[in-house]
Amino acid sequence: MSGFVTLTAAGAIDATYRVGALRRGAFARADSYTREVSGKGVNVAAALAAGGADAVAVVVLGADDVRFARCGLTAPLLRIVEVPGATRVNTSIIDAEGITTKVNAPTPPLTTEAWEATVEMLRRELAARGASWLVISGSLPQLAGTADLIDLGIVRALAREVGARVALDTSGAALDAVLADPAGIDLLTPNAEELAAAVGRPLHTLGDVVAAAREIVARGVDTVLASLGADGLVAVTAERAVFARSGAPYVANTAGAGDAALAGFLLGLSRTPAASAAGADPLAVAAASAAEWGAHAVAHASTLVSGPPHGIRTRVETAPDLDRVLTPEGEA
């Protein structure tokens, strides 16, 4: 099994409240409450570990929360870079209908010293594991005192030094910056809305998504794994497009589903030699694994998954119907 290192430059505490009803401006008493160390790279590492992979998560956390982090279920995976103060809190509120309302705290800036410490931690972990993948996930902070985001160029260079491929899952200005210079990015994982923004047009059909993903591939990205929400996902390369969709046993919490799907895709890719030897299609295996892990994740009450998926039915299409109309945003 391949080794994986994830980077979460803006770690978080995930707070999840379950309520009977959520009405704007009204008082609500939570039926339950959970709190866990998170951030997209932590979620990915936890899913990879649940799938049997050797994975660690380099994560920037506020010193106030380090003791809590070291007592949690993910503690063995964490490689913590401490910064002063508290860690930001991302809040999910899930009502009785299973609808998730999510509010993420602002991403705090990183000092030059903290970023240098993060890069050094990455250097050590990549070298120690001989990692085959570096996964950069979540928001990218600004460097304190500047308007610039942290520079991923040095991170990509670190990955190349050890022969690791790079997967990136980010959004907003960070995604725009990467798309302007995607050299060294092997896997990009936008959702349909982010992909539409990247190409500057709406995407109404699966064919629209594939065409948009191929524009990104043409800029130098090897594979685009596009999440389509309730419609499933599609893995796109210059030559191939593979669609996959899994049915979740039930929906408990949609937060973290994309992170689990990314982990599932990487786990599927790590089985490529065995899949090829057995005559299976490696990209189809990876896409199916991504869909299964995503469906598995939404059945979890927490953001983090525990154990691999079992008994989830998955449909895979290696020649998908490109005229298929996507479900409008906000509908299931």
Domain coordinates of the chain in residue numbers? 3-12+38-88+109-317
151-188 residue pLDDT tens: 888 999 999 999 999 999 998 888 988 888 888 899 99
To the nearest whole number, what is the mean pLDDT of the chain? 91
Structure confidence at residue 325 (pLDDT): 96
72-92 residue pLDDT tens: 889 999 999 999 999 999 999
Local structure of 156: helix, strand or coil: helix
Structure confidence at residue 330 (pLDDT): 47
pLDDT reading at 332 higher than 70: no
Cα angle, residue 213 at apex, residues 59 and 148 outer, rounded to 5°: 40
- Residue identified by tokens 């998955």 is 314
d(CA 64, CA 90): 16
d(CA 211, CA 198): 12
32-73 residue pLDDT tens: 999 999 899 999 999 999 999 999 999 999 999 999 999 988
Cα separations in angstroms, 173 against 77, 148, 207, 323: 29, 10, 26, 31
| Lowest-pLDDT range of 75-79, 95-99, 306-310 | 306-310
- Please give the structure tokens belonging to residue 179: 């798309």
Phi, psi of 131 (to 5 degrees): -60, 140
Q: Provide the 10 A C-beta neighbour count for residue 314.
A: 17
Residue 168's nearest CA partner among 205, 144, 134 is 134
Strand runs labelled E in 87-144? 89-94, 100-103, 133-137
180-222 residue pLDDT tens: 888 889 999 999 999 999 999 999 999 999 999 999 999 999 9
Cα 189 to chain centroid distance, Å, stands at: 7
- Please give the structure tokens belonging to residue 81: 């870079």
| Lowest-pLDDT range of 227-241, 287-301, 313-327 | 287-301
Residue 194's nearest CA partner among 225, 222, 154, 163 is 225
Q: For 176-228, give the secondary structure using H, E and C.
A: HHHHHCCCCCCEECCEHHHHHHHHCCCCCEHHHHHHHHHHHHHCCCCEEEEEC
In the CATH scheme, what architecture does the domain 3-12+38-88+109-317 have?
Answer: 3-Layer(aba) Sandwich (3.40)
**Residues carrying an active site annotation:** 259
d(CA 112, CA 80): 17
